[in-house]
């Protein structure tokens, strides 16, 4: 939201080129990871593939970790779920949006690479966990909206429940090394709705 | 179980040395990952630290991936949960055992490194997902025991429910980059017991 706002107010003649460079670089990162793995994300290779200079990349993303997070965020970004008047429906929407992104070619390598890189770069851990925090926000919000509405139990531990929503699809993709599917999403919707539903 | 049986029947004078080498190598891997990260797991460094020859390592673990999986399995291995007559109690036991292992120094790096390495080595993915399958077995078994006993709903999707047990602690450690604690385990026990409990 912030990004979109500043884009509207700060529009200058230089802006379209800025956006084109950003898009080309992040697309190059996703393509390299998909085709060759995270090890292929070297500044030289990214610059060559995106057709930009290395300084143009370093100016925007000072470290490789920043670059990988930004590329991941083009695919697994912040969701905005409208109030559908029903927690189950909103949960289904969140899980289906993530499912579609996780099923894209290269998503498993992109996420695994992000995790591996975060573990190696101690100092950059902060940015990585800020990213996780950011993309978890909408899940916590639909839980809180459900509590306010009355279809999520008022005593729900929202932060714990949010992990129940976010983690299983990732675990199937990265841990079980299997593409999650719509049937799995349906099973998760049933399980999570029972876990936090106000009916108990 | 297989391993333990063959150890009893095949005992030879050479066996204690075999076990000592295995123990020293896997401990060296865990130490290197804890201190320096997964990038430090080079055959030379492992051999030097364990005080064994490189061929002795290659004979047992042909690839670096095999070695990392074996080291991870010394810490996050197959659990054996006795029938406690109550699904909630068994669930608490599983989550507490995993919690203790995840809280050990270096566990985050070991798991992240394992995930990162699995994504890079296409062919070794099979062994990694076999490992995941192995350590998920007990969780599925306590769910099935609960169904047979009657305190887990008979229509539970056991494979989906097992991800609800296994994934959140890992997500907190690796995704949220925060040490899971006993309070989180208690919240998960409540959530998962509601999700699969026969009371709904």
The verdict on a CB contact (< 8 Å) between A157 and B128 is no
pLDDT, tens digit (0-9, with 9 covering 90-100), for A4-14: 333 444 445 56
B188, B152: one domain: yes
Of the candidates B120, B64, B36, the residue with the CA atom closest to the CA atom of residue A39: B120
B41, B99: one domain: no
B119, B30: one domain: no
A25, A106: one domain: no
In a domain, A9, yes or no: yes
In a domain, B69, yes or no: no
Residue B154: predicted pLDDT: 97
Q: What ranges in B37-181 are assigned the alpha helix state H?
A: 43-50, 54-60, 64-75, 87-102, 107-120, 125-149, 158-170
Report the residue of B168, B188, B197 to disrupt the A interface, i.e. the one with the largest count of A CBs within 10 Å.
B168
Q: How many CA atoms lie less than 13 Å away from A59 in the CB half-sphere?
A: 9
In a domain, B65, yes or no: no
Residue B19: predicted pLDDT: 85
In a domain, B70, yes or no: no
In a domain, A67, yes or no: no
Number of domains in chain B: 2
A180, A91: one domain: yes
| Phi and psi, residue B197, nearest 5° | -60, 150
B147, B184: one domain: yes
In a domain, A71, yes or no: no
Residue A13: predicted pLDDT: 55
The model's confidence at residue B116, banded by pLDDT at 50, 70 and 90, is confident
CATH value at residue A101? 1.10.357.10
pLDDT, tens digit (0-9, with 9 covering 90-100), for A75-125: 999 999 999 999 999 999 999 999 999 999 999 999 998 998 887 766 556
> How far apart, in whole angstroms, are the C-alpha atoms of residue B26 and residue A75?
37
| Phi and psi, residue B152, nearest 5° | -120, 135
Q: Does B128 touch chain A (CB under 8 A)?
A: yes
> How far apart, in whole angstroms, are the C-alpha atoms of residue B10 and residue A197?
54
Does ipTM come in above 0.85? yes
Range of the domain at B118: 78-196
pLDDT, tens digit (0-9, with 9 covering 90-100), for B23-64: 999 999 999 999 998 889 999 999 999 999 999 999 999 988
Cross-chain CB nearest to A37 (options B120, B170, B195): B120
Longest Cα separation, chain B? 59
| Phi and psi, residue A40, nearest 5° | -80, -5
Rounded mean pLDDT of B128-147? 94
Residue B123: predicted pLDDT: 53
**This prediction's pTM:** 0.89
Chain A residues within 8 A of B187 when measuring between CB atoms = 157, 160-161
In a domain, B103, yes or no: yes
Residue B122: predicted pLDDT: 60
DSSP letters of B16-27?
HHHHHHHHHHHH
Q: In what helix (H) or strand (E) does residue A90 lie, and over which residues does it extend?
A: helix A87-102
B44, B132: one domain: no
Q: Does B182 touch chain A (CB under 8 A)?
A: no
Residue A4: predicted pLDDT: 36
B82, B52: one domain: no
In a domain, B73, yes or no: no
pLDDT, tens digit (0-9, with 9 covering 90-100), for A136-154: 999 999 999 999 999 999 9
B27, B84: one domain: no
Q: Does A129 touch chain B (CB under 8 A)?
A: yes
B37, B132: one domain: no
B87, B132: one domain: yes
């Amino acid at each position: 939201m912030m990004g979109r706002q500043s884009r509207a107010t700060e529009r200058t003649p230089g802006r379209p080129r800025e956006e084109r460079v950003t898009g080309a670089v992040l697309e190059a990162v996703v393509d390299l990871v998909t085709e060759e793995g995270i090890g292929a994300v070297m500044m030289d290779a990214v610059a060559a593939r995106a057709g930009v200079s290395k300084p143009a990349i370093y100016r925007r993303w000072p470290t490789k970790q920043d670059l990988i997070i930004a590329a991941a965020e083009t695919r697994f970004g912040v969701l905005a779920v409208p109030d559908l008047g029903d927690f189950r429906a909103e949960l289904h929407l969140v899980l289906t949006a993530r499912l579609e992104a996780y099923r894209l070619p290269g998503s498993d390598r992109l996420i695994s690479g992000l995790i591996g890189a975060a573990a190696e770069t101690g100092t950059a851990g902060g940015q990585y966990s800020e990213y996780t925090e950011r993309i978890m926000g909408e899940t916590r919000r639909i839980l809180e909206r459900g509590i306010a509405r009355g279809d999520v139990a008022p005593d729900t531990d929202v932060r714990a429940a949010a992990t129940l929503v976010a983690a299983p699809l990732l675990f199937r993709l990265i841990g079980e090394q299997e593409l999650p599917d719509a049937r799995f999403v349906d099973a998760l919707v049933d399980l999570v709705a029972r876990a936090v539903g106000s009916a108990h």
